[in-house]
Amino acid sequence: MNYFLSILRSGIGVMVSRIFGLFRDIATAGVYGATGITDIFFVAFAIPNLFRQFFAEGAMASAYVPILSDKRDKSGVKAANTYLTQLITVQSILAVGVSIILVVFAEYIIILFMPGIIGNSYNISLGAAILRIVVPYLLFISIAGILAGYLNLCGSYFVAYASTAALNIMMIIGAAAGYIYNGNIYPLAFSVVTGGFLQLLIVYSYAYIKGFRIDALIPPDSDLKRTYKLVIPSLAGVGVSQLNFLVGRVIASFLQPGSISWLFYANRLFQFPLGVFAVTISTVSLTEFSIARTRGDKAKVQALIDKAIILVMLIIIPSTIGLVGLADELIDLVYKRSAFTQNDSLNSAIALQMYGVGLVFYSFAGIFTRVFHSDKNTATPVKIAGIAFAVNLVFNIILIKPLGHAGIALASSIAAVVNSALLYFFIKDYRFSIIKHAGKIIKIMVSSYLLIGALVILKMNEVHVLINVAVCCAVYFGALVLLKFGIKDYLKKG
């Protein structure tokens, strides 16, 4: 599989989803703004998304993708289908069990995630009602997420990522219905469930085309037990990572109404380059790392890590400059209309800047974590994630008073710096050679400085943000071409 084509297909799929996600956020912000009600919705929606990380992505993907790769390569397609069928069955049972708990104890779950609303019975009841509506999304997205890993191993990255556009499209429709009903939040909640079901339908249909067939549930596949031995420590790692966001939301619930929403809207823009580029590179890398390790090709693994690091630097450094330097303009362009006020825009922009400074380190952490997981080492990232969580908590306490909700965003970026640095330090038998890649790094930095110069000049002359972005991209990539960067050297196969 050509590394560049894998990233391109994945990136285009993510881009399709993110574009519809951008329209979704525009619609949501325009109809509902940033209020205590949106705070409650975003927290309720985040709860099944939290468990999705446990049941389909993150921890589970890191455990089962290398095993599925081994099984397909050594035992054949039928054995892989049996393993995947049994894995989906077990995960579905777990997802249903968690869903029942969330429904029965919805009020207490909402209070746990938003302790700042204790004493406000209306907000608690509203949050519980929304949570009960969106809970089925967990089951749908859990199955879809596992099948997406199968598609990745089949070399199909586009559909796995683009399928999430179904959720975004349905939420756009939900926001439109909410507008018709004078800002009622319930249509938006119901759209989450229908969107999740459509996404599952799309992914399953394409997995079927690619050869997946529901197979026997008995006898149990011996690799299932091995999967869960790997996933348990990895679950702890994802749990720690999610706790960083949980702590932020818990603290923000004690701040003024709208704080959770400002962080949410800022994070959504932050996630655009992170998801389209960094997560794409790290996800494709996990698949490629796993295949290379299965074949015992250590040299290729090291070459793939080099490529991933250079690609992150190439794309994420200019993205960071853009997010931080144009935060106000980007937030205004995307969100500032109708119910989303100037105050909402200002508060979301400062949060975006604080998230933005950590973008490169979030990206490196994703790659380095995949390196450990491809080697079936899930314990080390967990220990490091625990340290990063402690750092995040300490800086939340330090920064919340002077910076408010923006301090929560900055604390997460500082934790990302610590996380990526420690992960890199503990990678076995690998070090990135700065001397070997010095020429490429210098060219990226020179191009980035030219980008900063162009951005500053255009901002001083109050050029529209879209023109600013277009000109800065032209300056950056034009400089790379003039400097003969040679990007094909890092994208070609092998």
Is-contact 157 284, C-beta < 8 A? yes
The arithmetic mean of pLDDT across residues 141-154, rounded, is: 84
Is residue 55 predicted with pLDDT exceeding 70?
Answer: no
CA atoms of 199 and 159, how far apart (whole Å): 10
The tokens of 237 are what?
Answer: 């790692």
**Cα separation values, 234 from 72, 94, 154, 239, Å:** 23, 17, 24, 8
pLDDT of residue 304: 77
pLDDT of residue 11: 62
Express each pLDDT in 466-483 by its tens digit: 999 999 999 999 999 899
The arithmetic mean of pLDDT across residues 188-203, rounded, is: 94
pLDDT of residue 101: 95
Is-contact 326 469, C-beta < 8 A? yes
Is residue 151 predicted with pLDDT exceeding 50?
Answer: yes
Task: Using the Cα atoms of residue 44, residue 416, residue 422 and residue 320 in order, give the sign of their dihedral.
Answer: positive
Express each pLDDT in 65-104 by its tens digit: 778 877 777 777 788 888 888 888 988 998 999 999 999 9
pLDDT of residue 73: 75
What beta strand segments (E) does 3-138 contain? none
pLDDT of residue 216: 74
**Cα separation values, 482 from 45, 485, 486, Å:** 47, 8, 10
Least confident of 144-153, 183-192, 297-306, 432-441: 297-306
Is residue 247 predicted with pLDDT exceeding 50?
Answer: yes
CA atoms of 261 and 61, how far apart (whole Å): 29
Task: Using the Cα atoms of residue 324, residue 328, residue 334 and residue 335 in order, give the sign of their dihedral.
Answer: positive
The percentage of the chain sitting over the pLDDT mark of 90, rounded to a whole number, equals 42
In the chain, where are the structural domains located?
A: 3-432, 435-494
Confidence of residue 494 (pLDDT cuts 50, 70, 90): very low
The tokens of 253 are what?
Answer: 């619930």
The arithmetic mean of pLDDT across residues 31-47, rounded, is: 91
> For 257-270, b where at least 16 C-beta lie within 10 A, e where not — what string?
bbbbbbbbbbbbbb
CA atoms of 334 and 23, how far apart (whole Å): 9
Segment of 201-215, 267-281, 365-379 carrying the highest mean pLDDT: 201-215
CA atoms of 97 and 75, how far apart (whole Å): 32
Residue in 68, 77, 65, 81 with CA at minimum distance from that of residue 216: 81
Confidence of residue 295 (pLDDT cuts 50, 70, 90): low
Is-contact 420 368, C-beta < 8 A? yes
pTM equals 0.78
Is-contact 65 84, C-beta < 8 A? no
CA atoms of 139 and 270, how far apart (whole Å): 27
Is-contact 67 83, C-beta < 8 A? yes
**Cα separation values, 253 from 22, 122, 403, 421, 477, Å:** 25, 15, 15, 31, 42
pLDDT of residue 167: 92
27 against 60, higher pLDDT = 27
- Token look-up 């050869």 returns 211
Express each pLDDT in 483-493 by its tens digit: 988 766 655 54
pLDDT of residue 474: 95
Is residue 230 predicted with pLDDT exceeding 80?
Answer: no
Is residue 15 predicted with pLDDT exceeding 80?
Answer: no
Least confident of 39-53, 143-157, 246-260: 143-157
Least confident of 123-132, 166-175, 334-343: 334-343
The arithmetic mean of pLDDT across residues 26-31, rounded, is: 92
Q: What is the mean pLDDT of the chain?
A: 84
Least confident of 211-220, 227-236, 354-363: 227-236
Least confident of 279-288, 404-413, 434-443: 279-288
Residue 128 gets which letter from DSSP?
H
The arithmetic mean of pLDDT across residues 259-263, rounded, is: 92
